[in-house]
Amino acid sequence: MSQRTKNQHPRTSLLRARAAVVAVGLGASAVLGAGVAAAAETGASTGSVSTGSAAASVKAQAAAQAKAASAKKAAAKKAEAKKAAAKKAVAKKAAAKKAPSWVDPVKKYKLSASFAQAGNMWSSNHSGQDFAVASGTKVVAAHGGTVVKAGGNGAGDGPAYGNAVVIKHGNGTYSQYAHLSRVDVNVGQVVKTGQRIALSGNTGNSSGPHLHFEIRTSAGYGNAVDPVAFLRSKGVTL
């Protein structure tokens, strides 16, 4: 072997060694790059799944809160309605308690001929109480009930009463209104306490405008009781 050949051999070996190192380095880089890429892809995928789960969780929480708020609002509305109904019931009960059971048949009157009073105006003693008022004064039902008589000729009790009305109340009690100038109710009509039923007048056997008022134990003439004592027993001030 020549001297030249000997000198070239170590150099060739060195070059081959360097080439091998470079190849190994490139392979490692390729492997490392692939690993980084795979890791990055895996991370991106994991991040996407995490973001989706968080969004779904927020959406579910918002829906739950909205449902709870709606239920709370409905419950509050129901409670308010119940409170209003209770308040209305109390007010209605108080009003019913305050409302008078019986009232005067007319207002701004003067008591004139009284019950059982004797006189030449009647065939026997006076059967009711007279309330002296001007003709056309509003006459109201002294108590709620059903009209059983209404019209001329004393509504069937005779011409001495003129135009008259008889109302049936509970517990076998009747009220009669006579000498009316006008009758505003019909037989069978249900009336309330204080409701207008007629206008006062001077019809029938009357010496002047007034309302003749009776309390009876039946619808017909001849069963009258003292109307003033009766009304006072019901809390009416005369």
Domain end, chosen from 77, 101, 119, is at: 77
Asked if residue 34 belongs to a domain, the reply is: yes
Asked if residue 55 belongs to a domain, the reply is: yes
Indicate the range of 43-47, 57-61, 84-88, 218-222 predicted with least confidence. 43-47
- Specify whether 2 is located in the same domain as 60: yes
- Specify whether 48 is located in the same domain as 125: no
- Specify whether 73 is located in the same domain as 173: no
Q: Catalytic residue among 126, 143, 210, 212, which? A: 210
Asked if residue 167 belongs to a domain, the reply is: yes
Going through the chain in order, the beta strands assigned E by DSSP cover 110-111, 129-132, 138-140, 145-151, 163-168, 174-183, 190-191, 196-200, 211-216, 224-225
Sign of CA dihedral 143, 145, 146, 149: negative
- In the residue annotation, 9 being an active-site residue is answered as no
- Specify whether 143 is located in the same domain as 202: yes
For position 201, which CATH number holds?
Answer: 2.70.70.10
Asked if residue 86 belongs to a domain, the reply is: no
Asked if residue 92 belongs to a domain, the reply is: no
Asked if residue 169 belongs to a domain, the reply is: yes
pLDDT tens track for 93-127: 766 666 679 999 999 999 999 998 886 665 568 89
pLDDT tens track for 125-175: 889 999 999 999 999 999 999 999 999 999 999 999 999 999 999 889 999
Report in angstroms the alpha-carbon separations of 64 from 73, 77, 102, 233: 14, 20, 60, 66
- Specify whether 224 is located in the same domain as 160: yes
Is the whole model's pTM more than 0.85, yes or no?
Answer: no
Range of the domain at 37: 1-77
User: What letter does residue 210 receive in the DSSP assignment?
Assistant: B
- Specify whether 167 is located in the same domain as 218: yes
Q: Contact 193/231 with Cβ under 8 angstroms?
A: no
Domain end, chosen from 77, 97, 121, is at: 77
